[in-house]
Structure 1
Amino acid sequence: MKTADLCDHYKGALQVCAPMFRSFGGKRRFAGPITTVKVWEDNVLVRQAIETAPEGSIIIVDGGGSKRCALLGDRLAAIAVSRGIAGMIIHGCVRDTADLAQLDLGVLALDSMPLKSKKEGKGERDLSVRFGGVIWEPGHWAAVDEDGIVLAPHPMEL
């Protein structure tokens, strides 16, 4: 079911993220339970989430909207693919975009930036985060397609 159809079917019961992201991954449509990471220009916890999130998860990275460095590149994205992660939504930047486009992974981010992030391990995991006019709750579900992103407290299939 498309996100537009989900919005029609659930008639206002979904949260709809503001249109602010660009698609960088090879997968345009994906859905699954979310897990969250909150960091500032540091991607150590992003890697930890990729290495530990259950297969089929969507990893939500609240990078505070920083465009000064990338929080995901080709190497971490390849690990995500090998672990069966459905996708990543990054409130920040990515790099290695030509490579990301070739991977079977959904990747949404604000923009691209070639500079890598710090590696200090600062941040938090598995907490509610807010950006895009919605609240991203661990365990809730997200569905993504070419029309946008919708969130629900229950499973949704595209």
Structure 2
Amino acid sequence: MALATAELCDSNAALLGSDLRVLQPIFQVYGQCRAFSGPIVTLKVFEDNVLVRELLETRGDGRVLVIDGGGSLRCALVGGNLGQLAQNMGWAGIIVNGCIRDVDEINSCDIGVRALASHPQKSYKKGLGEKHVPVHMAGTFISNGEWLYADSDGILVSKTELSV
């Protein structure tokens, strides 16, 4: 069960702004898991989802894939097949600084997904991008190995695992 972001902010107030950051409220909520958390795996791509599939084909072990898609609203980086793959491989969630598609399929998956919007067009398949690199999105830097907490109130990123 995921910890409530409001409670995490209250009980870790001394960390806010440095070791604990709140992402700007720019993401739409998708997937069946409205609240999720886990260690972060970062990915930086632009309108190309080959590396997204590569990572989601690995064991998730409760991790959260954070995809910096450059904020592109011109195509989708995650669709229903990748949502199902993420669920099957044990990923807790996916954050997309970009778009998803196959919303009804993703909403039937038992994972948490946040994205800027939905878009019917699929992405390119060139295999370009970077794995496990710091990314900047929603007003903050996010590094591989940090912790992400998401629920209906918002999304937090912490340098370490938190408790209330």
C-alpha distance in 1 between matches for 2:112 and 2:140: 19
Shift of 1:24: 1.3
What residue is the counterpart of 1:22 in the other structure? 28
What residue is the counterpart of 2:57 in the other structure? 51
What residue is the counterpart of 1:109 in the other structure? 115
Alpha-carbon RMSD across the aligned residues, in angstroms, is 1.2
Contact 1:32 1:86 in 2 (8 A): yes
Shift of 1:26: 1.2
- Determine whether 1:8 maps to 2:10: yes
- Per-residue CA deviations over 1:134-157 (Å, capped at 9, x if unaligned) read 111100000000000011111136
What residue is the counterpart of 1:34 in the other structure? 40
Structure 1: unaligned runs, 5 residues or longer? none
- Per-residue CA deviations over 1:40-88 (Å, capped at 9, x if unaligned) read 1000001111112531010000000001000000001111000110000
Contact 1:91 1:110 in 2 (8 A): yes
**Across the two proteins, how many residue pairs are aligned to each other?**
158
- Per-residue CA deviations over 1:5-54 (Å, capped at 9, x if unaligned) read 10011104110000000011111000000001100100000111111253
Amino acid at match of 1:116: K
Contact 1:143 1:157 in 2 (8 A): no
- Determine whether 1:85 maps to 2:87: no
Runs of 4+ in 1 over 4 A off after TM superposition: none
Amino acid at match of 1:19: P
Change in 2 beyond 3 A, CA 1:28/1:157 = farther
Give the TM-score normalised by the residue count of structure 2. Answer: 0.93
C-alpha distance in 2 between matches for 1:33 and 1:125: 15
C-alpha distance in 1 between matches for 2:58 and 2:44: 16
Between the aligned residues of both structures, percent identity stands at 44
What residue is the counterpart of 2:140 in the other structure? 134
What residue is the counterpart of 1:145 in the other structure? 151
Contact 1:35 1:126 in 2 (8 A): yes
Amino acid at match of 1:2: A
